[in-house]
Amino acid sequence: DSAEASVVRTYLDWLAELPWKKMSKDQLDIVKAKDVLDEDHYGLTKIKDRILEYLSVRKLNPDSKGPILCFAGPPGVGKTSIGMSMARALNRKLARISLGGVHDEADIRGHRKTYVGAMPGRIINAVRQAGTRNPLILLDEIDKMGSDMRGDPASALLEVLDAEQNATFRDHFVELPFDLSDVLFITTANTTSTIPRPLLDRMEVIELTSYTDEEKLQIAKRYLVPKQIKENGLKPSQAKFSDAVLRHIIEGYTRESGVRSLEKTIGTVCRRIGKSLLMNDEVPLSVSVKNLEKLLGPVKFLPETVHKDDEVGIVTGMAWTQVGGEVLETEAVAVKGKGRLLLTGQLGDVMKESAEAGVTYVRSRADVLGIDADFYANMDLHIHLPEGAIPKDGPSAGITMATAITSALTGKAVRHDVAMTGEITLRGTVLPVGGIKEKVIAAHRAGIKKILLPEENKRDMDEVPQSVKKDVKFVFVHHMDEVLAQALVKS
């Protein structure tokens, strides 16, 4: 019984176990699929619509090659779980492959049989595990693949994720072409910036943005609370989470894009309630707003608020972060000096350049604004963004900085209930920026009543929740002069 014989036997067993012909029947009832997706997930309308479109195409043309969908978004927003729900809605077998840290091409394509301990690649292995030729294969964390001297797995995936090529995918171990064209590939990523361009080009990217507080509340009520109560062995009557309690947890203890920390925090509350019941405390703990500090300790995040008075040189800007939007106060002070521009608050290169562009714009409009034309020679300007320990960068503070500089030099106060975002050019044109939905929600939460946005960002208003549109007045600006007219207090 030689080594060669055992290799051949393993190989033949492998070939026999591959589902060369076996296929599962797709469940193509669109209404039923919609019910499955709604049952598993709250919100995510765009993604659900895209999945239902995919099903509709399958029903109208069973021979169509499906696209490769890539769900991209911050952690905890439900990328992996929507892939799993999709398999359930389609009635397909699910195989999940995590690509985080994979840096060997053989992981995708398999080893040649000449090597000791040769194995097939993960793709063929996943098909074999699923037992059908048309499973849904979920490729998690596609943005976290590496490459080293053992090859580049991203390049190996180029064939797998191309509907034109993958009908004859050849694994090095199996050495026979296997048809992957019936497999539905779904990939997930936190960011698309680290995915090689040719690979990204083969996928249809669907962005998942962060949830609003209202969406988090509904997700907690419908899914997270029942799940955590069950997991921690409680009865629903022993831990009743009111809307007020959930709102306090969302706003005071978890500030994130997704709902992962929210679920952990609800789990912590459930565990502490369980412990209190078993310790036979005289007064067992109950879930209430009053008891939250006892259960979870002091509040971790204080509510975002803006200053209450109109002041000179202080402007409310809006920033996008991985965990949603936030408001940032920009301060500018003009003092006697030699025309230096000082920037503090851990600003990145893009922000520094925005500040320099703002100064040049103000210099070019000195006459109109009523500023001494020689201010750049006898005044020092200091721009500061508080929370100095947090690095900040991006183009969206251009108009904010220009407004702060103008206010500091003219002595005119800036309205405290106005927030703004936008990039500035030297001529004062306001250019569009990203992350509008998150920024607007953060400003609304902080009590802002008027928001100035670049005119070209009108197209992003579809994504802004109706509750925010009702409370806030939106002004779309094309030029810096309009920004100053809206933001500066008329004396």
Which of the residues are catalytic?
Answer: 396, 439
Torsion of Cα atoms, 227 then 232 then 237 then 238, to 10°: -140
Q: In angstroms, rounded to a whole number, what is the distance separating the alpha carbons of residues 349 and 392?
A: 9
| Rg of the Cα atoms in the chain | 28
Length of the chain: 491
For residue 267, how many C-alpha atoms fall within 13 Å in the half-sphere facing its CB?
11
Q: In angstroms, rounded to a whole number, what is the distance separating the alpha carbons of residues 34 and 85?
A: 10
CB-CB contact of 214 with 252 (8 Å): no
81: three-class secondary structure by DSSP: helix
Q: In angstroms, rounded to a whole number, what is the distance separating the alpha carbons of residues 88 and 140?
A: 18
Beta strands 430-431; 423-424: pairing state: antiparallel
199: three-class secondary structure by DSSP: helix
CA-based nearest residue to 79, from 346, 258, 277: 258
CA 307 and chain centroid, separation: 29
Helices (H), 189-336: 197-201, 213-219, 225-231, 243-252, 260-278, 292-296
Q: In angstroms, rounded to a whole number, what is the distance separating the alpha carbons of residues 308 and 93?
A: 57
Q: How far is CA 342 from CA 284, 345, 437, in A?
A: 57, 10, 31
